[in-house]
Amino acid sequence: MYLCQKTFNMRIVFSIIHNGLHHLLHNNQYAAIISNCDFWIVVEGASLSNNSTKWCKEFPLEFHSNGKSIDGTTCFFENLCLSSNKIIYIPSNGFWHSKDHQVNRAIEEVKKITNKCFLWEIDIDEQWTSDQMDKAEEELVASKAKSACFRAECFIGKNLRAIGDWGEAFTSGYTRLWNWEGEYFLCHEPPVLEGELGKDPVMLSPVFKHYNYYFDKDVMFKDKWYGGHDQIYERWKLINSLDKRFFPMHISNLITGPWGNSNSSIIYVETNGKKKLIQIGANRGYDHVFEITKHNKHECILVEPNKYLIDNLKDCYKNCDHITIENCAISTFDGNIDMYFNDMEDGDSSHSSLSLSHVLDHNNKKENIIKSNVPCMKLESLIQKHGWTNDEIEWLFIDAEGHDCDIILSTDFSKFNIKNVFFETVHSDGSFKQGEKLQKTIDWLMSFGYLINAKKTTDESNLALSKI
């Protein structure tokens, strides 16, 4: 039994998830859910194609391990539970019989907490703001309805949206909110509580973001498991490669079967037009990257692990738009890592490194060096978190004080559209040493179609490679 007050105003979210780590990291989805609810019940694992999902095919072998996620989702939640008491995590023990069973397993946990609340279903590819959730609950109370549905901004790719009956769900909406008072679900697709069969949910005004066909890996999975989705992955890739002059187009160019005959279209949506740039090791700013970005022609993610430099960095970029600062390290894994830095250094540079000897080799006094355990993530996780997986990234700058090659060698560049990679080479094989590791890193980038760009290489301490 969970210790909690029983109040109608309580907000409980439930989600079922399988191989959803990229969605959890996308726009910090997991943090947004945690901050916007009293409890988050997560039911992990794959289900058999029964009941509500009997229209699906046999679950593909390459997407599970005895029904469990294989992308790091389980480990992510196991660690997250250690830092948040809001999460109730239910891992799979083999395949679930159906998604109907999964959602009712979540209801069992809700019943341990309270006998009435605002109950939300948030699928892991759906994103809501706090204001939207507040407004939805207010509208539900005012309507005196039991359940509510919503339209969605449906993402089919970087610049593509689905409008109409499919994707946007303009007519029917997605049922996602209930004035819950102890009921189980009769079914999951669509979600209907006991006593609500045959009753239409009220359509409320908030519109959430639905990234159901945004990521390459999701469409590939749906191609393999969803019924009526054969070859959708190839069609999706083709549609996303087309110029904007080909849009709008009818949804049948993507979806077959009954939904392909629905009153739905795919439209092209312009973005802000700014080129994208990532800098790992932003330091205090006022460097070559600042000279590129100060004219507000780029959307930037600036990464700096040294917390003592963040205020300086913010001050440097205070007049720039579309700047996101991440106070973390980039490494070969997601989690936490020990770093060494000297916040007492004079001049423009403060050396932060994973290696104590590296900081000492830069003439820093040992008594002034601070060891700090900082959050870290893979480059891939950083890109996914900010929703840049499908975007063209003009520049990736890396100055990680000897960790540059490790970051590059742990990244599958085939997943991203990064045009130019600029990294520090002078410490590739140890402090002020270049050797086999540097050559291995160059070979790795070349295997993805990069070539050394002499025009963009500024000096012997750095190297620029550009995609062919």
Q: Is the dihedral of CA 271, 272, 276, 279 positive or negative?
A: negative
Q: Measured between alpha carbons, how far is 372 from 157 in angstroms, rounded to an integer? A: 39
Helix 232-241 to helix 216-225 angle, to the nearest 10 degrees? 150
Parallel, antiparallel, or unpaired: how do β-strands 450-452 and 264-268 relate?
A: unpaired
pLDDT, residue 184, reads: 98
Calculate the alpha carbon distances from 84 to 33, 94, 191 in Å: 12, 26, 28
pLDDT, residue 5, reads: 41
Q: Measured between alpha carbons, how far is 229 from 222 in angstroms, rounded to an integer? A: 7
Q: Measured between alpha carbons, how far is 46 from 70 in angstroms, rounded to an integer? A: 11
Q: Give the ranges where 350-412 is alpha helix by DSSP (H).
A: 356-360, 379-385, 404-409
Q: Measured between alpha carbons, how far is 88 from 7 in angstroms, rounded to an integer? A: 19
pLDDT, residue 212, reads: 96
Q: Is the dihedral of CA 84, 117, 212, 277 positive or negative?
A: negative
Domains of the chain: 11-212 (3.90.550), 275-467 (3.40.50.150)
pLDDT, residue 412, reads: 92
Intervals of the chain under pLDDT 50: 1-8, 347
Which pLDDT tens digit goes with each residue over 170-216? 999 999 999 999 999 999 999 999 999 999 999 999 999 999 999 99
Rg (C-alpha) for the chain, rounded Å, is: 24
Tokens matching residue 70: 């294989």
Q: Measured between alpha carbons, how far is 153 from 146 in angstroms, rounded to an integer? A: 24
pLDDT, residue 274, reads: 81
| pTM reported for the whole predicted model | 0.69
Alpha carbons within 13 angstroms on the beta-carbon side of residue 206 total: 24
Q: Measured between alpha carbons, how far is 156 from 198 in angstroms, rounded to an integer? A: 31
